[in-house]
Structure 1
Amino acid sequence: MKNRDEIKAIQLSDYRQPSYWARKVCLTIDLDPDHTTVHSRVEYEHNPGHDHSLKLDGKDLRLTSLKIDGKTKPLDSFFHDAEHLHLDDLPERFSLEIATDLCPKNNTALEGLYLSRGAFFTQCEAQGFRRFTYYLDRPDVMAEFETIIRANKAEYPVLLSNGNLMEEHVLPDGRHEVRWHDPFPKPCYLFALVAGDLGHRNDTYITKSGRTIGLHIYVEKENLAKCSFAFTAIQKSMKWDEETYGLEYDLDRFMIVAVNDFNMGAMENKGLNIFNSKYVLASPETATDKDYENILGIIGHEYFHNWSGNRVTLRDWFQLSLKEGLTVFRDQQFSAHHGSEAVKRILDVRRLRDHQFPEDDGPMSHSVRPESYIEINNFYTATVYEKGAEIVRMYYSLLGKDLYHKAMTEYFRRFDGQAVTVEDMIKVIEETTGRKLDQFKLWYQQAGTPTLQVSRSVSPDGVTLTIKQEQPDTPGQTHKKPLLIPFRVAFLGVDQKALTSTINGRSQHEHLLEITEREQSFAFTGISSNAIPSLLRGFTAPVRLKTQTTQNELLISLAAETDSFNKYEAAQTLAEHMIGKAELPREYVEAFRSLLKTPEKDPYLSSLTLQTPTVDTLLNSQESIDIDRLYQDHKRYLNQLATAVAPDLQATYKTLKNADAAAMDQASSARRELRNTCLGLLAATESPEALALVKTHFREAKTMTDSIAALILIASSTDSERNVFLKDFYTKWHHDPLVIDKWFAAQAGSNHPDVLQHVQALVKHRDFDMYNPNRVYSVFRSFAKGNPFGFHHPSGAGYALVSDYVIKIDRTNSQVAAKLAGLLSRYQKFDAVRQGLMITNLKRISEHGPLSSDVYEVVSKSLLETPKS
């Protein structure tokens, strides 16, 4: 914890190379929960043009000895404290040996070396290695690592680190020792260590060049049977990256370890990926179809980092999106390849709008490459990841598939083994493709979500679209420049036929426009004046769109749209128009009914098109909110719609019931998705028959997908048997932490009228663990996102509960606390009473003693916002 006057912002403009480069690191670690010793020997080489002093990073360390070129230095002969170590008058090259003591058992921050369920784990990104030993903890310092680990063999039979296993042997005192060597230079944030009594399964993969790679997964022994799908995901990832990007794995083995207590989703440590267990462990009985999708995508993401992040890494943390944005785009491509491209695009955009757009609108708004930060952990954000991926997708759209891959091939070739910047990537793209990207660079520099206003004028020759782009003011940024925005467009006829239009001498159904000015007009000929524009097809840019599209045109688009995303968009836009109406128009109900009667070939795509906007989604899309009215309007809309089409929902549900309910293939998963969407809409009728169907669905469920879908609906009901079903589920699964996370989430995110009281009770439950990030998020994130009306209760009790836990958790895990604090940051949308209550709780956090820099940054920036009247 730091006092406020000790918390300083880090500036991109302050970047300087270090005075010395680390070339080789040799670590010897003697593990003990209370008293671990770390001996590091680092070979340093002077960086010409810099002074001969060295400032090393450390945190919560006890220094016991230091040697330079084998000569011991008295500890009082140089400056050191808990966070830094300074050395002066150093030679051109030297070996520095440092011994430190640490207590992993007391490390609740889950950064550096810590204990989880009796096993040792590390998390070093972004700045966790400084909790391990004094070192240049920055990504541009890349060194070869050798790691020796010693521990009691009976207690910790598995000892893992990066690279290849070189040797292992038993020591005379009941301990054993292993030596690992990673031949590829890496920054210290990619260092990893795992030690424990873990179960182990292995497999192999043959690379395109014929090398055999050992695949190893380590988990708690009782979870060994849940690793099969993770192996499939690894093998698919390796094969896809070879075939799509020409990138082959480089070490002799690839390892994954699953851990329950983990701040992130997963970590791409070189050769030793450490995962939150929910992204590794899966069986049909315990994991949902969405869990399987996430496991495939996240294992792919971490594996793809082997090149986009590890072999080519970052100069500094401001360049974070250089690895994360690119790798998210790569994992999106991978998941689309192994599933449905249309479904994946809709899910990705929905995630962007639900998480990144609100971030752009709030006090933590920042550019994809920010100019400054107080705490780097706060910038592992949807902007850096998801918006960063959209930037790469725009490259792909502007360049085309072939030129994009030509540029990426050169990027990985040119910068292999280097720490680079956004400018380095852009330069490669420009040189490889011959395209200048000066204006496109603004996407990295300007914060906020652009809005495109599209108007149209007609003539006997066709239709002219006029597009205006607007850039919103964001904290610290005003008067922004126009962006280069790729914009796909096509036209539909009122007879529901796809049209061919002509612009700039090119006649085709779909055109890619490039918007570069604040206002531009595009004239299309060869179409009638009443042609309906299909705009921003495939969501080609991360923007908001304002159009003159009428309700009738939306209904035609819903029936005739040739772009899957825009068909989904038409359904969502129509639903938003309907919410708040006293009665639903007949033509809207009939259009919705027709979606049920003429489903897509892919039931998953049909399901997404039928799903209506959530209250949270509506909150994110509106500038000011009457939450009380919105909640009632949304509830009435769902009830009216579901009641009107109930027979069709029942017919579709029954048809899908005949499918193989337990199969885990893609087709079966898609059928379950559509079936559960129908079930959820039927539950909105609040009829006794619908509730009985939900209960039957739960009792007959053969997969966790169906079980949890029904449990969520039961948790939202006021039925007398509600608590019986919840108790039975808990009794059956209390031994499985990941399933019990779902149990907590189902209740915390329910639409039950007493959800606030339920959440207040859940945090007192014996299985609620505020030291476990998964459990904390299963309650608080589910509550705030799943039932905004409950979270924004007019009493302010929801805000008070969150602020209580921000204060409590900040003492032990500042990263988790900062994420909870963010739930209170976007108060401007609400009425004056709720704004005041959220501000009061933010101030209460701010005034509660020393805060971590993580929480301080979120709270202080939130309080800088001006309340709206």
Structure 2
Amino acid sequence: MRTEQPKMIYLKDYQAPEYLIDETHLTFELFEDHSLVHAQLVMRRNPARGEGLPPLVLDGQQLELLSVKLDDVELTDADYQLTDSHLTLHPQCAQFMVDTSVKIHPETNTALEGLYTSGSLFCTQCEAEGFRKITYYLDRPDVMSIFTTTMIADQHKYPVLLSNGNPVGSGPVEDGRHWATWEDPFKKPAYLFALVAGDLWCVEDTFTTRSNREVALRIYVEPENIDKCQHAMNSLKKSMRWDEDTYGREYDLDIFMIVAVNDFNMGAMENKGLNIFNSSAVLARAETATDAAHQRVEAIVAHEYFHNWSGNRVTCRDWFQLSLKEGFTVFRDACFSADMNSPTVKRIQDVAYLRTHQFAEDAGPMAHAVRPDSFIEISNFYTLTVYEKGSEVVGMLHTLLGAEGFRKGSDLYFDRHDGQAVTCDDFIKAMEDANGVDLTQFKRWYSQAGTPRLNVTEHYDAAKQTYSLTFAQSCPATPGQTEKLPFVIPVALGLLNANGEELPLHLQGESAAVGTHRVLSVTEAQQTFTFTGMAQQPLPSLLRGFSAPVKLHFPYSRDQLMFLMQHDTDGFNRWEAGQQLAVQVLQDLIGQHQRGEALVMDPRLVAALRSVLGNEQLDQAMVAEMLSLPGEAYLAEISEIADVDAIHAAREFARQHLAESLHEALWARYQANREVSKATPYVAQAEHFARRALQNIALSYLMLTGKPQVLAAALEQFEHSDNMTERLTALAVLVNSPFDAEKAKALASFAEHFKDNPLVMDQWFSVQAGCTLPGGLERVKALMQHPAFTLKNPNKVRALIGAFAGQNLINFHAADGSGYRFLADLVIQLNAFNPQIASRQLAPLTRWRKYDSARQALMKAELERIRTCGDLSSDVFEVVSKSLA
């Protein structure tokens, strides 16, 4: 049991480092049962910290110190101080050299931080503070150094030796070993260091930059995966070209490398020149990866490549500024994905994810600002708030400044701060200086936590032909922040007349109308905008493209929402109108269930979706999105008290009713698209993604009817599809159906066919973990005994445990608390060997305040049990303690 609270770290306490490291020379001797790391650091006193020579305190964890020298003089035990976390030295002059040798054990490093083994590979993960588990160092992002790295290993077992930068030499040594040296000419902090050693094959290509330099591109994988890399390579080349065209950013080294590893806590890591990826974010082939997986690979490859400038060439001064690189880069990769696919569908998917998950984070005990002001464990702040909400903040800047103004600001930011570690304020200052604007109030988005609420009311004056919109903004209290000042909220809008035509927007006080679409900047707690020349009362289309991450409320009637679904020229708001209509209908059903009444569904939702299905002019991906009802997690998030049973019953009733009412139209769409799929080879392109998306959602509805021809269609799609998208959807609808014999046969067939493919087996686990039929927990426990499952692999944990606790609400929130006990047991186990993954699995329990009193008591009891179970990692301790505060 922990007896003292880990140290809280505060942004206000930041101080520049006492010393700097100009050069870092590393030599790794890699062996099966240990590794030796020799480090030579060329250091100097930081002139920004003044005179004197204070003690040099180097970070280090789980290191066995073998020797230490200061300016070539070997030190004795009396010359330094050593603790479990630091090595303290006493320099005698302003410029000096430190040499250390340490022994580490990558082969037993189950936390997957620092240097560790994944199967037969050596690899690293140093962000945020993993480098201190490799050698003694100033492990902080504002200490930037030139790195030279030499690796020595068995040539037969580890023929490929990789690190950051460019290769400068290699050769054999005695006893069948060999060496390779890499130099990175660009200064970087230790968190961007990377090393990989193993028996790897690679796919090679080249890219010619706009300045006519040829860059070698290599994707390294284990031999059995060599046929799954082409999509990632194509994505890399597209992202390199896009970054040149959109941001003017050119790649700067002679070689760019990606390595896929199976054991990785995150999606990928942007180490300079040597990106290390979770294999799930690289490997994609039609037979083994879904359309969503293909799009995810494309997005993550782009994200990590874009970090070369927004994260590497310009990095963050301290970890409180994490969104400086992550929020900006998520925005960049979202724009890239929108350009590569459907911009509207991409925006819909991003917003649906944000509102379901990040809004819930904002409303929970771990709520924090985009730039937090304190933390215990930085690994807990790789959150949706820092990434997704941080991206929304950058997107609002783009909206307010316009594309040209934003580009001017980003150019100035990159040019002004190249090679520096900077802050979110520096980013905003570049935007201000490039555009001649004052963004002081806008910066509240970085410092204030929570999701703002924007209530809108209207007033029409027929005599004056004016139409007014009044915006009232507020933001709920969050941990440590009870009072919130007004944000700058950009509201993109249009006004529609009775025919669905967009009206000219002439604001009172302006000389003329400014088009039919504009952005209003809401900066006050209450603010009114009046439009003139309105011969009839218009219908507002508000927050187009989701122009700000807020909870908007306007008293639309259901008939008005149906009108917007048919007429709004903003694709996102057409979808949003459908979602609002569906939410209202589902909330009616939830109330009926809670009152014990027979469920009766508003026919307007059926009529609206029938119209959508019949509109063959709409992008098929858009039709698929509009047919998707709000998920149970989102319905829970917008509920004051989430009634899990009523939400599930209402949504399932609505799905069943829609399936039966729209059967003919769904069947026609399904058959037409399936015939095209059977006649068309798989292509990972937007048009094909769209066709399969509509085909698959139609099948998921149709299966609810239980008709024999639908079962036959699902079996045909499962058995004869040439791609994982169609096959996995067919498997999922079978798993959630009452056809037990067919379900069992399909699951067995799938597992037998893909038993040697870990990533596909992860999908097999997830499909079953997400099954909402009774007995969910028992199925998950049984699957944990499957030979393909192991708690030591983060992908497996996310696929089975994460999918069950995060997506299968009706089973996880069983009234007897069995789901809560199960998750708590798993967190306690994981805490012992992988604290990062343990803390991330805790999220469902942290939301205990959202549920009824009985469930609250059960969830709190499990959090208490975790807190008192023994020696908790700082990762888990922080989440549990804040959840119970």
Give, as a single letter, the amino acid of the residue that structure 1 aligns with 2:663. Answer: A
1:490 aligns with 2:494: yes
Aligned 8 A contact 1:449 1:542 in 2: yes
Q: Which runs of 5+ in 1 are unaligned?
A: 865-869
Shift of the alpha carbon at 1:462? 3.2
CA distance in 1, matches of 2:262, 2:293: 15
2:809 aligned residue:
788
Of stretches 591-600 and 366-375 in structure 1, the one that deviates more from structure 2 is 591-600
1:698 aligns with 2:698: no
CA distance in 2, matches of 1:529, 1:728: 63
Q: Which SS does the other structure have where 1:342 is aligned? A: helix
Shift of the alpha carbon at 1:432? 1.1
2:525 aligned residue:
518
Aligned 8 A contact 1:19 1:51 in 2: no
Shift of the alpha carbon at 1:100? 0.3
2:107 aligned to which of 105, 108, 128: 105
Q: Which SS does the other structure have where 1:85 is aligned? A: strand
1:584 aligned residue:
601
Shift of the alpha carbon at 1:92? 0.6
Aligned 8 A contact 1:153 1:175 in 2: yes
CA distance in 2, matches of 1:26, 1:89: 19
Shift of the alpha carbon at 1:104? 0.7
1:596 aligns with 2:595: no
1:799 aligned to which of 820, 840, 854: 820
Q: Which SS does the other structure have where 1:388 is aligned? A: helix
Identity between Structure 1 and Structure 2 (%): 45
2:690 aligned residue:
670
CA distance in 2, matches of 1:522, 1:227: 53
CA distance in 2, matches of 1:788, 1:99: 51
Shift of the alpha carbon at 1:688? 4.1
* 1:382-531 alignment runs, 5 A limit: 382-460=384-462, 461-503=465-507, 504-507=510-513, 508-531=515-538
Shift of the alpha carbon at 1:85? 0.5
User: Is the alpha carbon distance of 1:146 and 1:838 closer, same or farther for their aligned partners in structure 2, counting shifts above 3 Å?
Assistant: same
2:793 aligned residue:
772
1:632 aligns with 2:654: no
2:833 aligned residue:
812
Aligned 8 A contact 1:191 1:269 in 2: yes
* 1:357-372 alignment runs, 5 A limit: 357-372=359-374
2:567 aligned residue:
560
User: Is the alpha carbon distance of 1:608 and 1:600 closer, same or farther for their aligned partners in structure 2, counting shifts above 3 Å?
Assistant: farther
User: Is the alpha carbon distance of 1:473 and 1:241 closer, same or farther for their aligned partners in structure 2, counting shifts above 3 Å?
Assistant: same
Cα-to-partner distance string for 1:795-831 (whole Å, 9 max, x where unaligned): 1111111111100011000000001112210011111
Aligned 8 A contact 1:170 1:177 in 2: yes
Shift of the alpha carbon at 1:585? 3.1
Q: Which SS does the other structure have where 1:97 is aligned? A: strand
Of stretches 834-843 and 712-721 in structure 1, the one that deviates more from structure 2 is 712-721
1:867 aligned residue:
none
Cα-to-partner distance string for 1:203-233 (whole Å, 9 max, x where unaligned): 1100000101000111010100111111101
Aligned 8 A contact 1:65 1:75 in 2: no
Shift of the alpha carbon at 1:89? 4.2
Cα-to-partner distance string for 1:323-367 (whole Å, 9 max, x where unaligned): 000000000111111111111111111121122111000000000
CA distance in 1, matches of 2:617, 2:452: 32
The number of residue pairs the alignment matches comes to: 863
1:13 aligned residue:
12
Aligned 8 A contact 1:119 1:197 in 2: yes
Cα-to-partner distance string for 1:639-663 (whole Å, 9 max, x where unaligned): 1111101100001111112224432
CA distance in 2, matches of 1:155, 1:431: 54
Give, as a single letter, the amino acid of the residue that structure 2 aligns with 1:617. Answer: Y
CA distance in 1, matches of 2:664, 2:774: 28
Aligned 8 A contact 2:130 2:191 in 1: yes
1:538 aligned to which of 539, 545, 560: 545
Aligned 8 A contact 1:33 1:115 in 2: no
Give, as a single letter, the amino acid of the residue that structure 2 aligns with 1:381. Answer: T
Shift of the alpha carbon at 1:683? 1.9
User: Is the alpha carbon distance of 1:198 and 1:4 closer, same or farther for their aligned partners in structure 2, counting shifts above 3 Å?
Assistant: farther
2:172 aligned residue:
170
Of stretches 286-295 and 77-86 in structure 1, the one that deviates more from structure 2 is 77-86
2:83 aligned residue:
81
CA distance in 1, matches of 2:134, 2:728: 41
1:716 aligns with 2:739: no
CA distance in 2, matches of 1:790, 1:90: 64
Give, as a single letter, the amino acid of the residue that structure 1 aligns with 2:82. Answer: H
Shift of the alpha carbon at 1:708? 0.7
2:752 aligned to which of 731, 735, 738: 731
Aligned 8 A contact 1:803 1:842 in 2: yes
Shift of the alpha carbon at 1:633? 1.1
1:839 aligned residue:
860
1:65 aligned residue:
67
2:593 aligned residue:
none
1:550 aligned to which of 545, 557, 562: 557
Q: Which SS does the other structure have where 1:502 is aligned? A: coil
Aligned 8 A contact 2:263 2:278 in 1: yes
Aligned 8 A contact 1:33 1:103 in 2: no
Of stretches 164-173 and 687-696 in structure 1, the one that deviates more from structure 2 is 687-696
State TM-score, norm by structure 1: 0.98
Q: Which SS does the other structure have where 2:578 is aligned? A: helix
CA distance in 2, matches of 1:784, 1:574: 28
Cα-to-partner distance string for 1:45-101 (whole Å, 9 max, x where unaligned): 111315422100001000000011111001342101221011124311001000000
CA distance in 2, matches of 1:777, 1:98: 38
1:648 aligned residue:
665
Give, as a single letter, the amino acid of the residue that structure 1 aligns with 2:701. Answer: L
2:229 aligned to which of 220, 227, 230: 227
1:284 aligned to which of 283, 286, 291: 286
Shift of the alpha carbon at 1:584? 2.7
Of stretches 82-91 and 737-746 in structure 1, the one that deviates more from structure 2 is 82-91
Give, as a single letter, the amino acid of the residue that structure 1 aligns with 2:868. Answer: E
Aligned 8 A contact 2:342 2:686 in 1: no
Give, as a single letter, the amino acid of the residue that structure 2 aligns with 1:468. Answer: A
1:38 aligns with 2:37: yes
State TM-score, norm by structure 2: 0.96
Cα-to-partner distance string for 1:489-515 (whole Å, 9 max, x where unaligned): 111223233333321344221121000
User: Is the alpha carbon distance of 1:348 and 1:506 closer, same or farther for their aligned partners in structure 2, counting shifts above 3 Å?
Assistant: farther
Shift of the alpha carbon at 1:522? 1.0
Q: Which runs of 5+ in 2 are unaligned?
A: 590-598
2:378 aligned residue:
376
CA distance in 1, matches of 2:59, 2:777: 44
CA distance in 2, matches of 1:525, 1:780: 56
Of stretches 15-24 and 527-536 in structure 1, the one that deviates more from structure 2 is 527-536
Cα-to-partner distance string for 1:567-602 (whole Å, 9 max, x where unaligned): 000111111111244323333322211101103442
Q: Which SS does the other structure have where 1:499 is aligned? A: coil
Give, as a single letter, the amino acid of the residue that structure 2 aligns with 1:607. Answer: A
Shift of the alpha carbon at 1:529? 4.2
Of stretches 611-620 and 318-327 in structure 1, the one that deviates more from structure 2 is 611-620
Cα-to-partner distance string for 1:508-533 (whole Å, 9 max, x where unaligned): 21121000100011112233443211
Give, as a single letter, the amino acid of the residue that structure 2 aligns with 1:680. Answer: S
Structural RMSD (CA): 1.2
User: Is the alpha carbon distance of 1:670 and 1:88 closer, same or farther for their aligned partners in structure 2, counting shifts above 3 Å?
Assistant: same
CA distance in 2, matches of 1:857, 1:47: 33
1:25 aligned residue:
24
CA distance in 1, matches of 2:828, 2:217: 42
CA distance in 2, matches of 1:455, 1:190: 50
1:681 aligns with 2:701: yes
Shift of the alpha carbon at 1:847? 0.4
